[in-house]
């Protein structure tokens, strides 16, 4: 049996799978409505919002694309600093939207001042940001960028927190985030197939006047159905049972303890890297706390390291994503990992390096 330490999907616990094997229920009945309602308070707490959580049966890209279709009437500004954020720009072009980007090198963070300068040129009505760029291990300064976007009325701020949601506090309402989204297969340690998202009233107002929103990803349909604790179409009910279970574990642990655990586990991996001379690909001050991306030293046989770690110990880490595949490697500490399980991984990695 092998265990995933890649930055998504991540390891899913046996207890989560057990919760997901709850007998099937119909989604147009009180049992489902109670299930839907039961996950709201914890999701709202994790997002820092009083807005309802919508549950989309799709991977994160479904909602990322939908956000553009539902919200962009004029021109979108995409903030690009890695594989996922760069792709958001491509998706905007594929939708035929007017799109512009701020592009920084992979491994760099988005500068809030550059966002201010670009928005100052005018003409934009949507900005997209990936909070935690999973491909490079860069965590952008969400609060500073949000403060900039907030100074431009009429600009809808869309934030992907796929690999940061529940790993660090997020203050959607206080920061003025209009759409916040997160797939469940990253920090929430569920199997893939479900995406959680929230919309501000301003985002829904914008969506209402947008033609061609389609049906499956129409934010207005999600909002209408959420009023009745329901979803527009048949949702991934088993995943929602799994979500209910995971949120129960988060409540039992306490969110601040959860955040502290992620930071401590991440620090263990940073210390391990420092011991072996592996440099963090992300700059100090912008390093993710849910995963670590290391730059491959020139003389290091990364492929053999990853292969032996899997073959001998059953631990799977990632050998880089997109154009930095083979040049970086990534280790996740998301989800249910403890100091003990991280130390097991570290012992195995030390063994392979010895």
Ligand X SMILES: *Cc1c(COP(=O)(O)O)cnc(C)c1O
Chain contacts with ligand X (rule: CB under 6 A): 8, 59-61, 84, 130, 132, 134, 160, 162-163, 183, 186, 192
Tell me the C-alpha distance between 149 and 241, whole Å: 36
Task: Please report how close the Cβ of residue 315 comes to ligand X at its closest, in angstroms.
Answer: 20
Compute the distance between CA of residue 256 and CA of residue 120 in angstroms, rounded to an integer. Answer: 37
7 or 352: CB nearest ligand X: 7
Closer residue to ligand X, CB minimum distance, 164 or 352:
164
Query: How far, in Å, are 46, 106, 224, 264, 345 from residue 337 at the CA level?
Result: 18, 27, 37, 11, 10
Q: Which CB sits closer to ligand X, 335 or 352?
A: 335
With contact defined as beta carbons under 8 Å apart, do 80 and 74 qualify? Answer: no
For residue 38, say if its preceding peptide bond is cis, omega within 30 degrees of 0: no
Query: How far apart are CB 62 and ligand X at their closest, in Å?
Result: 7
Give the residue with the Cβ less far from ligand X, 68 or 348. 68
> Minimum Å distance from CB 183 to ligand X?
4
Least CB distance from residue 140 to ligand X, whole Å? 11
Q: Which of 147, 5, 144, 155 is nearest to 76 (CA)?
A: 155
Burial, 79: exposed, middle or buried (Cβ in 10 Å; 0-12, 13-18, 19+)? Answer: buried
Contact partners, residue 27, CB within 8 Å, separation at least 6: 230, 231, 234, 235, 237
Q: Nearer to ligand X by C-beta: 239 or 348?
A: 239
Least distance to ligand X, CB of residue 28, Å = 27
Contact present, 340 and 293 (Cβ < 8 Å): no
Task: Give the shortest CB-58-to-ligand X separation in angstroms.
Answer: 8
- The least distance separating ligand X from the CB of residue 295, rounded to whole angstroms, comes to 19
Name 241's Cβ contacts closer than 8 Å, sequence gap at least 6.
19, 20, 22, 35
Task: Burial-class residue 141 by CB neighbours within 10 Å (0-12, 13-18, 19+).
Answer: middle
Tell me whether residue 140 or residue 302 sits nearer to ligand X (CB atom).
140
Nearer to ligand X, 60 or 342 (CB): 60
CA dihedral 152, 158, 160, 161 (to 10 degrees): 70
Which is nearer to ligand X, 162 or 352 (by Cβ)?
162
Report yes or no: 79 and 127 within 8 Å, Cβ to Cβ. Answer: yes
Quote the least distance from Cβ 181 to ligand X, whole Å. Answer: 9
Name the 3-class secondary structure at 282: coil
In 156-211, the DSSP E strands lie at: 156-160, 179-183, 195-199
* Pick 110 or 348: Cβ nearer ligand X: 110
Shortest spacing between CB 7 and ligand X, in angstroms: 7
């Amino acid at each position: 049996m092998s265990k995933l330490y890649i930055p998504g999907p991540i390891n899913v616990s046996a207890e989560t799978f057990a919760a997901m094997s709850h007998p099937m229920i119909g989604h147009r009945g009180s049992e489902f409505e109670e299930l839907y309602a039961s996950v709201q308070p914890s999701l709202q707490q994790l997002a820092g919002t009083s807005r309802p959580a919508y549950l989309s049966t799709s991977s994160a890209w479904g909602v990322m694309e939908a956000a553009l279709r539902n919200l962009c009437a004029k021109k979108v500004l995409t903030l690009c600093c890695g594989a996922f954020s760069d792709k958001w720009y491509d998706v905007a072009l594929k939708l035929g939207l007017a799109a512009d980007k701020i592009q920084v090198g992979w491994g760099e963070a988005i500068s809030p001042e550059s966002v201010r300068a670009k928005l100052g040129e005018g003409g934009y009505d949507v900005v997209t940001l990936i909070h935690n760029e999973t491909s490079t291990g860069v965590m952008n300064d969400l609060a500073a960028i949000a403060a900039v976007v907030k100074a431009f009325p009429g600009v809808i701020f869309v934030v992907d927190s796929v690999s940061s949601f529940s790993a660090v506090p997020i203050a959607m309402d206080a920061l003025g985030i209009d759409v916040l989204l997160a797939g469940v297969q990253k920090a929430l340690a569920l199997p893939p197939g479900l995406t959680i998202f929230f919309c501000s009233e301003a985002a829904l107002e914008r969506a209402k006047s947008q033609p061609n929103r389609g049906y499956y990803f129409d934010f207005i349909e999600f909002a209408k159905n959420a009023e009745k604790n329901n979803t527009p179409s048949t949702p991934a009910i088993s995943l929602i049972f799994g979500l209910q279970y995971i949120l129960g574990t988060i409540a039992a642990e306490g969110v601040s303890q959860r955040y502290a655990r992620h930071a401590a586990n991440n620090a263990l991996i940073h210390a391990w890297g420092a011991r072996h001379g592996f440099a963090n690909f992300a700059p100090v001050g912008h390093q993710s706390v849910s995963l670590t991306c290391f730059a491959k030293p020139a003389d290091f046989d990364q492929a053999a390291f990853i292969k032996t770690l899997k073959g001998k110990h059953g631990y799977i880490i990632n050998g880089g994503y997109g154009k930095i595949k083979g040049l970086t490697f990534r280790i996740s500490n998301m989800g249910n990992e403890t100091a003990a399980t991280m130390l097991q991984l570290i012992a195995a990695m030390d063994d392979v390096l010895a």
